[in-house]
Amino acid sequence: MGRMQTALALIDIDAGTVTATHLESAQFPVEDLAIHRGEGIFETVLVTVDATGAALVHSRETHFTRFEQSAAMLDLPEPPRELFEEAVAAVIAAVIGTFDGNVTEFAVRYAMSRGLDSHADPAAHRTVGIPHGPRGWAFPIGLSDDQRAQRTRGVRVVTLNRGYDAYVGESAPWLLIGAKTLSYAVNQSAARHAVAQGADEALFVSNDGIVLEGPTSNLVIQRGDTLLTPDPRAGLLHGTTQRAVFAGAAASGLTVEYADLTIDDVVEADAAWLVSSVRTAVPVLEVDGKALPHAPASTSRLHEWIRAA
């Protein structure tokens, strides 16, 4: 991706400013709670660029609304929308300006941390221009060839126990289930474990047998003329891409439903996909070694609905 990956926008929330810079010169204090506590939130949006160089941020509003909801769940200040939109726009402009029309899609990740740890010396950080309170940032992410290929090639998944019962978040809100936080160590570990088991991806299942989500994706299955996805209240992130799929499906005359699904429901489905902002819709070919039907025409429709959002 060349210099696309060096673009960076830093947000000083207290000062109300956005500074365009690049990753080589970034000054992120190691005392920030995002680094050693995972105390922060993020979103990743897909950006497509047409032949004229015009960029479209997909599901922009849905992403930022979820960003605000995550902030509220973590007792963070309300993210200033205008600053984050300015930061994302600055990153997009830097990418398009650098690549002279050769880029057709990429992602932008924006995030907000709680700020410096309580033991940090605010005065010392202010002398070098580092804010003490919540800070934000945005930067671009390129899509790999493998991510693009998975959209049509599909993936094999293995189910993994998520470690809690379905709907536990309703009685234990401090677990932050449903917030998109920077604490992704478990998700990363699950993805590595799945690969070690010979699969491409993991699919989380609750202690009581309810299918939840992938480490970075939501599950959608097809049963006749109905698309189904796990109920977010069961213990998963309410996906922006899944909502785009449901909106497109409903507009096309299909029935959509949030439901408690079991592994058997997935295996017996007419088709299944993992959906996410960057990979869009990825067909599920196997679950725990059991083959699922492949539906290329339906996959193409999901791709269209996601890109229309």
Q: Which residues contact 226 (CB under 8 A, 6 or more apart)?
A: 254, 255, 256, 257
Q: Sorting pLDDT into bands at 50, 70 and 90, what band is 132?
A: low
Task: With both helix axes pointing from N to C terminus, report the angle between 60-73 and 240-251 in degrees, rounded to the nearest 10.
Answer: 140
- Which two three-digit tokens encode residue 293? 């039907």
Residues 190, 205: contact at Cβ < 8 Å? Answer: no
Residue-level pLDDT at 98: 78
Least confident window among 23-27, 102-106, 250-254, 301-305: 23-27
Distance between CA atoms of residues 289 and 286, nearest Å: 5
Specify the DSSP class assigned to residue 27.
-
Q: What is the mean pLDDT of the chain?
A: 92
Alpha helices in the chain, H assignment, sequence order: 33-36, 60-73, 81-99, 122-126, 145-153, 185-196, 240-251, 263-267, 296-308
Q: How far is CA 290 from CA 141, 207, 308, in A?
A: 33, 21, 32
| Residue-range domains of the chain with CATH | 8-143 (3.30.470.10), 147-308 (3.20.10.10)
Q: Sorting pLDDT into bands at 50, 70 and 90, what band is 124?
A: very low
Q: How far is CA 194 from CA 36, 143, 235, 287, in A?
A: 26, 21, 20, 11
Residue-level pLDDT at 2: 45
Least confident window among 1-5, 216-220, 278-282: 1-5
* Structure-model confidence comparison of residues 111 and 97, the more confident one: 111
Question: What pLDDT, in 10s, does the model give residues 37-84?
Answer: 899 999 999 999 998 889 999 999 999 999 999 999 999 999 999 999
* Structure-model confidence comparison of residues 28 and 308, the more confident one: 308
Residue-level pLDDT at 52: 87
Residue-level pLDDT at 74: 96
Residue-level pLDDT at 83: 98
Residues 224, 255: contact at Cβ < 8 Å? Answer: no
Average pLDDT over residues 91-115: 88
Q: Which residues of 112-137 are buried (b: 16+ CB within 10 A; e: fewer)?
A: bbbbbeeebeeeebeeeebbbebbbb
Residue-level pLDDT at 115: 86
